[in-house]
């Protein structure tokens, strides 16, 4: 009987999650994109003019695509492009630095570039914002707190430590991650360190930045959901 109840609860959680996911999908544009800069709806296709797209941020109004236009001398010019949901309107913004990420923070849309500088969108323009993150940061959450992580650098001569930090809560924790991007799961920051040995999973309290628990998870692969490990 206990097992049946447990299973029912589990099914309920799964159904709830599916419904929430479905809602999330409804809130997005449902546009698809390709690395060559093309964007698709179920009925149409447009070319953004990007020669390389590497990142997309979906919103109910349309899709933001970050990438490069490559000129005749093979120089890559960084761009951010917006394509509306109906695929009949495009706006492009040339950038001085490659776009790393877009995120909503305090009800405003922010653009984060590779150097850690940010811009906010007002009307159809991006303007520089004083919020500055460390170079090569990736924002992990910007809902209740602003938490970002910097990967362990590739070059041996670059002594930057892989780390995660909270701008709002003012903490930093060094985690030598690279292959798996840290994730927020139920208010716990999950990060896998690659060094000195691969596959140590750290659970970090997002209020204090303290590591609550570390365990060896050598089987973790890039792309795997870290939240599944928390549920287990």
Partner 1 sequence: MELHFFPGQKLLLALHITGNNQVKVAGRYEAWSGPSTGGTDPRMPEEPTWPGEYIIAKAKVYLTPSWKLSGIKWGTPLQDKPSINDVWYRIKPQTWASVKKDHAISRKDIIRLHFELYQIRTVPPTWVFNDFGPVVIMWFEDRNNNKQLDGDETLSGQFFHTTPENEAQVSANLPVTFKNSHGCIHLHPKDRNLLFSQGFFNPGTPFTIHSYYERYLEKPL
User: Site residues (CB under 8 A) for partner 1?
Assistant: 35-37, 51-54, 68, 70, 73-78, 98, 114, 152, 154-157, 159, 161-162, 174, 176, 178-179, 193, 195-196, 222
Give ∠ CA 165-100-151 in degrees, rounded to 5: 45
CB nearer partner 1, residue 157 or residue 231: 157
Cβ at position 52, least distance to partner 1 in Å: 4
Nearer to partner 1, 159 or 170 (CB): 159
Q: By C-beta, is 146 or 163 nearer to partner 1? A: 163
Give the closest residue to 100 by CA, choosing from 83, 88, 84, 117.
117
Hey, what are 58's tokens? 């979906």
Q: Closer to partner 1 at the Cβ: 187 or 215?
A: 215
Residue 230 C-beta: closest distance to partner 1, Å = 24
> Least Å distance between CB 213 and partner 1?
19
Q: How many CA atoms lie within 13 A of 193 on its CB side?
A: 20
Closest approach of partner 1 to the CB of residue 228, in Å? 21
Residue (of 53, 63, 112) closest to 91 by Cα position: 63
- To partner 1, the closest distance from the beta carbon of 156 in angstroms equals 4
Task: Indicate the residue among 19 and 195 with the shorter CB distance to partner 1.
Answer: 195
Rounded-to-10 torsion of CA 83, 84, 87, 89? -80
CA distances 198 to 157, 172, 177, 204, 231, Å, are 21, 21, 9, 18, 21
- Token output for 151: 């990967």
């Amino acid at each position: 009987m206990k097992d049946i109840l447990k299973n029912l609860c589990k099914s309920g959680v799964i159904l709830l999650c599916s419904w929430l996911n479905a809602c999330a999908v409804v809130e997005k544009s449902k546009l698809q994109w390709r690395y060559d800069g093309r964007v698709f709806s179920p009925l149409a296709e447009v070319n953004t003019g990007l020669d390389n797209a590497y990142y997309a941020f979906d919103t109910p109004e349309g899709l933001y695509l970050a990438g490069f236009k490559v000129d005749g001398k093979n120089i890559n010019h960084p761009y951010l492009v917006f394509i509306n949901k109906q695929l009949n309107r495009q706006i492009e913004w040339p950038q001085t630095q490659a776009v790393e990420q877009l995120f909503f923070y305090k009800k405003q849309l922010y653009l984060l570039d590779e150097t850690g500088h940010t811009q906010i969108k007002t009307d159809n323009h991006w303007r520089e914002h004083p919020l500055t993150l460390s170079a090569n940061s990736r924002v992990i959450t910007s809902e209740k707190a602003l938490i970002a992580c910097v990967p362990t650098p590739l070059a041996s001569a670059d002594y930057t430590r892989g780390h995660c930090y909270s701008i709002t809560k003012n903490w930093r924790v060094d985690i030598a991650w690279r292959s798996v991007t840290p994730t927020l799961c139920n208010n716990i920051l999950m990060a896998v360190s690659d060094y000195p040995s691969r596959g140590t999973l750290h659970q970090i309290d997002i209020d204090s930045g303290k590591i609550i628990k570390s365990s060896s998870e050598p089987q973790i692969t890039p792309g795997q959901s870290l939240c599944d490990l928390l549920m287990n």
